[in-house]
A and B are shown apart, each in its own frame.
Chain A
């Protein structure tokens, strides 16, 4: 963001006279729609919400000032506390998991990739579709007798095949690596060429084992995990929320990975070459070259990620018809629910207080990030 490159700022009065007046007029005209939006739909709305958060208001009678009572009631409301806990855990878990997964994958896959357009198109699919579409397919997939449980059932029934495949691959790979080293080649443990051979052998071997019935798929009862229509918790967080977290992470990691990949490929080759000359291992290169280079980008991604996930609303609203409210409620949904969901009249005071709280929380997160972040150019 450039400051108007060293322009002097004439005193305000001079704006109203002279040549600048023309510019002021046009600026005002050009900015009119923005001023309307910022003024009415934002500033006016923001301050009204702030005012109402200190009032008792039900949209029909006039608002009654009650001071901080709403905020106190918030913290006494079990639904709010749950929503707060859910939003915080959702934000932290999803943001950090997706960022680090994406980073790891980008590092692992770091090389020139052709046909990136095709992959990009595939990875961007969930982002361009509406959250309702993604959500509905998600609900359908996670039905008790749905695709997810079906795949898990098949995986569980075929575990002898997986185990034998894995075993064959390990045996084959170790043999090849040891043999290669014996012959004097500088073979690494996960040597790609040998690995392909091992995988092939493992696959063919498993196929024949199955063909000759030395291993057989089990027929165990179907996996019956209820993903959404339950209030059960895992590690204190409701299972439906875990499912939504998995959905978010799964749809974000691919595109984030591409983003990091582009960033990685901007890292000057010279840095790596210098490190290699100094005899650095892959771990040292990672720690001393790659990660510092990506730091600003990472901070940006984490900041944006935290903001976005703290304000998660869509998935909670879409699954709230299927999962229990208290298992998917987030701060944003809590606000909506106080206005239009709960019994009786809209509780505008509570909704506004919760919304202000959410805004402040977001601001706090951003400020913390700014303090901790170093040298990011993007702000």
Chain B
């Protein structure tokens, strides 16, 4: 009898000791996210986990993607890591990222339908989902209402097409106090318009599409402010990026994403500004989706050896509560579709919340594509960037520059 009790007691003790074993779940991400992440973990995630589980955010200071590839190859990744849509496919192709479909199917608080469809597509490779989008961004038009009022020009709106839009920008252009638009020769701003004009990612035969008439028309339209003088680049205005020109009231209009919201909040909290979707061409609108998601390594190299627990942490990080928290801090726009009914987004109380709502809806519009250049790779946007720079400096005409870009890309593709 005594022995039995002893056995039972020791088994019970063993189990409770096992239960008390401290488990550390590590999340790795960009170092700039450290404050927000740690607050999120402290306030939203940790309270819902058993006391012996600790979630730690480990910021990565160097080139994040290189670090992640190194870690995956070495077999020592963190439990959860950021996955940027820009290089998602490259990382998934290492074969060391876990597909999450089975977790999604079993989950009670996170279902595929909960997420905005384009975000699901962004992280789907070969039919399987590899990351849960934590937040996203896309491009919208920011405009300074005071400047438009001062010049008596109607605000840009969702009805604008390319021509009415430039017309308004021309009219609000007011040298030397402010320029109509601050625009950099940035491929990430140009390509959505090119796609809206009908340019495909690649020609059906696999060659570069930049010499097509639609592409050239888009390049001519896009560079009009610089060539005709009603816009300026950031460097011309003495700032580091168009967002700074907008905050410092040097430009009436910029095309940026939700990341412009915190700088406006910091630099000019009472600015009267508005946001609207990008202008259309022939009824079509293009946009880029920038998003980062949470991914997990495959079970064999999962450090904590508890895939279910790690998934639970991901669920908590993307739960409505967590996303609400992030939304109210105003740092990013979360990925759950239902959040559209969150008061911040449903009835925006100030220009910032309005801006977030605009970005949120703009992302879901048709024509939005994930910001990714697989399978061609970065050479695609490098040649576009070079072409844009030459157009903006006046070195080449839009047509000549785009044809040169097409030639360069074709030469690379042949290799």
A residues with a Cβ closer than 8 A to B are: 58, 60, 144-145, 224, 340-346
Contacts and interface: CB of A to CB of B under 8 A. Distances in A.
Nearest to B63: A341
B62 interface: yes
B235 interface: yes
Contacts of A346: 70
Given A144-B235, A145-B238, A224-B235, A343 B74 contact: no
Contacts of B73: 344-345
B16 interface: no
Nearest to A340: B62
B96 to A, nearest CB: 13
B69 A341 contact: no
B335 to A, nearest CB: 28
Contacts of B70: 343-346
Contacts of B65: 343
Contact of B66 (A60, A224, A341): A341
Nearest to A61: B74
A345 B71 CA distance: 8
Top 6 closest pairs, chain A to chain B, by CB: A343-B66, A145-B238, A343-B69, A144-B235, A60-B74, A345-B73
A344 B69 contact: yes
A145 B74 CA distance: 43
A342 B74 contact: no
Contacts, number: 25
Nearest to B71: A345
Interface of B: 62-63, 65-66, 69-70, 73-75, 235, 238-239
21 contacts: A58-B74, A60-B74, A60-B75, A144-B235, A145-B238, A145-B239, A224-B235, A340-B62, A341-B62, A341-B66, A342-B66, A343-B65, A343-B66, A343-B69, A343-B70, A344-B66, A344-B69, A344-B73, A345-B73, A345-B74, A346-B70
A344 B70 CA distance: 4
Contacts of B75: 60
Given A144-B235, A145-B235, A343-B66, 9 more contacts: A60-B74, A145-B238, A145-B239, A341-B63, A344-B66, A344-B70, A344-B73, A345-B70, A345-B74
A311 to B, nearest CB: 22
Contacts of B69: 343-344
Contacts of A343: 65-66, 69-70
A145 B69 CA distance: 36
Nearest to A224: B235
A346 B235 CA distance: 38
Contacts of B66: 341-344
A189 B180 CA distance: 59
A255 B73 CA distance: 49
A169 B288 CA distance: 62
B176 to A, nearest CB: 12
A60 B65 CA distance: 20
A224 B236 CA distance: 9
Nearest to B72: A344
Contacts of B63: 341
Contacts of B238: 145
A290 B75 CA distance: 65
B379 to A, nearest CB: 16
A278 B118 CA distance: 92
* Max chain B Cβ within 10 angstroms of own Cβ: one of A341, A343, A345: A343
A60 to B, nearest CB: 6
A344 B94 CA distance: 11
B128 to A, nearest CB: 24
Contacts of A58: 74
Contacts of A144: 235
A142 B338 CA distance: 48
A346 B75 CA distance: 14
Contacts of A60: 74-75
Contacts of A342: 66
Nearest to B68: A343
B329 to A, nearest CB: 27
A368 B62 CA distance: 40
B238 to A, nearest CB: 5
Q: Name the residue among B63, B69, B70, B238 with the largest chain A CB count within 10 angstroms.
A: B70
